[in-house]
């Protein structure tokens, strides 16, 4: 297959708001500094549904979605030295070139090298490697893992330990790394600090794991779904608050301030709801509390608070992919998983095949789903 176009199955999003279509796609061979990957497993993330809905300002169609994938390198283009055919890999929607202003800053995991073309759904040379029904199909987040074969930039892929099962490592491509990294890298939660996590999905529960690893004091999970209490406890939360069950007149902010003697040291929004983001900021301790926005809000939504909240020392920030540099740090997370220090298996509540992808999207929208993993 090396150097040749591969015809395989993919789930194509032809139009916003419509079901995905499982059909043949032609995947061109990788050009210079590109890698063709046989995807074995992919997770389904809310951000895929968000872009499919048509609300993502960067979303264009037709497109192959998916950004939580693991597989094996099939072939590489000219000049690729970081991975080779046969390597077990995870696709990276946050690439790491190690040479741009961002990568060299030491201040962020965002990489600027290919962000412009990635946002347009194209490979770095401005073209697509996918064709179906005689037309070009766009790439998504530089990964497009809802295809049995995909082509990515060589800076958008990392080789990981081959003894780590790919149906688990795929989840390190987004949800788990995002939450775990937010607690360990972006917030760098200190020992004994009080933490509140809004939203106990894959991302929020991964923040809980990160907070446990950082030896946080109180780890308070806030969720409107009562079924999330046992999930929170299983991952190491010390307390659970359901904002819909508070006494009349008490807000979730009042409750958290009361539980933490003045406010939390760190809070995390893992819901994407801008009202929740405000509550998370205002539940922070005066003088130093930090609130980290992780959730992706719908297009057009804005956050608000009284500026006095910041004047009095609360800090509002956010992160993508948990602040983790994929090529440098993902093998470390896989090692944590292999050593039993990072839970991954526990997140998989649903398993489907690529052909059943629309069912997986339906599952994701139910309260009992943490992650649905697709076998390609």
Binding site for Zn ion (CB under 5 A): 45, 47, 174
Q: Any catalytic annotation for residue 170? A: no
Q: Any catalytic annotation for residue 46? A: yes
Binding mask 301-320 for ligand AHE (x = CB under 6 A): -------------------x
Reply yes or no: is the peptide bond before residue 254 cis, omega within 30 of 0: no
Smaller CB separation from ligand NAD, 137 or 292: 292
Smaller CB separation from Zn ion, 174 or 197: 174
Cβ-closest position to ligand NAD: 201
Catalytic choice (67, 88, 278, 327): 67
Name which of ligand NAD, ligand AHE, Zn ion, none residue 276 binds, using a CB cut-off of 5 to 8 Å depending on partner kind.
ligand NAD
Rounded-to-integer distance, Cα 77 and Cα 97, Å: 16
Considering only 38, 40, 43, 47, the residue that binds ligand AHE (CB under 6 A) is 47
Name which of ligand AHE, Zn ion, ligand NAD, none residue 158 binds, using a CB cut-off of 5 to 8 Å depending on partner kind.
none
Catalytic choice (34, 42, 47, 202): 47
Q: Residue 10 CB, nearest distance to ligand NAD (Å)?
A: 22
Considering only 296, 324, 334, 363, the residue that binds ligand AHE (CB under 6 A) is 296
Binding mask 113-132 for ligand AHE (x = CB under 6 A): --x-----------------
């Amino acid at each position: 297959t090396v150097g040749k176009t591969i015809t395989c199955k993919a789930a194509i999003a032809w139009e916003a708001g419509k079901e995905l279509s499982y059909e043949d796609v032609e995947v061109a061979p990788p050009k210079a500094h590109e890698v063709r990957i046989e995807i074995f497993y992919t997770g389904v993330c809310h951000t895929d549904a968000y872009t499919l809905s048509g609300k993502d300002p960067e979303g264009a169609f037709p497109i192959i979605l998916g950004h939580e994938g693991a597989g094996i390198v099939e072939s590489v283009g000219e000049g690729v030295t970081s991975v080779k055919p046969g390597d077990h890999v995870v696709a990276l929607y946050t690439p790491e070139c190690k040479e741009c202003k961002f990568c060299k800053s030491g201040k962020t995991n965002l990489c600027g090298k290919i962000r412009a073309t990635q946002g347009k759904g194209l490979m770095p040379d401005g073209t697509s490697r996918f064709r179906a029904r005689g037309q070009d199909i766009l790439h998504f987040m530089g990964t497009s893992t809802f295809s049995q074969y995909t082509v990515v930039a060589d800076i958008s892929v990392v080789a990981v330990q081959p003894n780590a099962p790919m149906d688990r490592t795929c989840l390190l491509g987004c949800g788990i790394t995002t939450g775990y990294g937010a607690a360990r890298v972006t917030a760098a939660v200190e020992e004994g600090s009080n933490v509140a996590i809004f939203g106990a999905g894959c991302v929020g529960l991964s923040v809980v794991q990160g907070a446990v690893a950082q030896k946080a004091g109180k780890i308070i999970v806030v969720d409107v779904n009562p079924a999330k209490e046992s999930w929170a406890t299983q991952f190491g939360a010390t307390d659970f608050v359901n904002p819909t069950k508070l006494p009349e007149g008490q807000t979730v902010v009042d409750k958290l301030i009361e539980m933490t003697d003045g406010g939390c040291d760190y809070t995390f929004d893992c819901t994407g709801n801008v009202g929740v983001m405000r509550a998370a900021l205002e539940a922070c301790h005066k003088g130093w509390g930090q609130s980290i926005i992780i959730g992706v809000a719908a297009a057009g939504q804005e956050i608000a608070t009284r500026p006095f909240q910041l004047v009095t020392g609360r800090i509002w920030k956010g992160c993508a992919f948990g602040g983790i540099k994929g090529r440098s740090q993902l093998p470390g997370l896989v090692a944590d998983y292999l050593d039993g220090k990072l839970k991954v298996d526990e997140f998989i509540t649903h398993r489907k095949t690529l052909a059943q992808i629309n069912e997986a999207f339906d599952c994701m929208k139910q309260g009992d789903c943490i992650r649905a993993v697709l076998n390609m």
